[in-house]
């Protein structure tokens, strides 16, 4: 499995869980893919370095949790895609023209409600 897909799969597990997960728990959840334990550990470490998951120590094990919920991160991403002022170097071209603030709020609200 390509590394990108693996990262996405691990994030899906973390987002789907009620609380922080250890490497072993994540490994068990996606075990069907014949993955080495150390691979999962590496992926979680990379995700922590990228600042998308938090890591905290619980006894001898590390526990991992997403920094934001899936909905929060999606809403933030949409804001970033739509935000377009020349003072902020925006350069994400999009199909529609600029959305109004109301439409933007609706986008965020819609992103929050889902999932």
Partner 1 sequence: MTALLLGALGLFLSLVAPGLLAAARWPDRAPAPAVVLWQAITLAGVLCALGVVLAGPEELIRAADGNRRVASAALVAALAVAAVIVLRLLVSLGGVMWRSRARRARHRLLVDLLDRAEQRHGLDVEGLRVLDGAQPLAYCVAGRSPRVVLTGGALDVLNTTQIAAVVAHEQAHLRHRHELVRESFTAFYQAVPRPLRSRAPLDAVRLLLEMVADDAAARRSGGDAVRGALTLLSDDSAGAGRDRRLSRLADQQPRSVALSVIVLVGAVALLVLPTLVVVVPWLSVAVSNWPL
Q: How far is the CB of 16 from partner 1 (least distance, A)?
A: 13
Nearest to residue 47, comparing CAs of 7, 74, 98? 7
Least Å distance, CB 59 to partner 1, is: 28
Q: How far apart are the first and last CA of the chain?
A: 25
Site for partner 1 in 11-40 (CB under 8 A): 11
Per CB under 8 A, the segment of 25-33, 34-42, 56-64, 77-85 that binds partner 1 is: 77-85
58 in the Ramachandran plot: left (φ > 0), alpha (ψ -120 to 50) or beta? beta
Task: Report the C-alpha gap between 47 and 45 in whole angstroms.
Answer: 5
Per-residue binder mask for partner 1 (CB under 8 A), 56-75, x = binder:
--------------xx-xx-
CA 6, CA 81: separation in Å to the nearest integer? 25
Token duo for residue 28: 């068990």
How many residues touch partner 1 under the rule CB under 8 A: the total is 40
- Which chain residues interact with partner 1 by CB under 8 A? 4-5, 7-8, 11, 50, 52, 70-71, 73-74, 76-78, 80-82, 86-87, 89-100, 102-103, 106-107, 110-111, 113-115
């Amino acid at each position: 499995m390509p590394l990108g897909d693996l990262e996405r799969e691990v994030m899906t597990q973390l987002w789907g869980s009620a609380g922080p997960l250890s490497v072993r728990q994540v490994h068990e959840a996606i075990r069907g893919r014949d993955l080495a334990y150390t691979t999962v550990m590496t992926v979680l470490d990379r995700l922590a370095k990228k600042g998308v998951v938090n890591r905290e120590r619980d006894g001898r094990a590390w526990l991992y949790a997403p920094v934001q919920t899936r909905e929060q991160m999606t809403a933030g991403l949409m804001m970033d895609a739509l935000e377009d002022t020349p003072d902020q170097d925006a350069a994400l071209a999009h199909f529609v023209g600029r959305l109004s603030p109301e439409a933007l709020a609706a986008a965020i609200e819609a992103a929050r409600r889902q999932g």
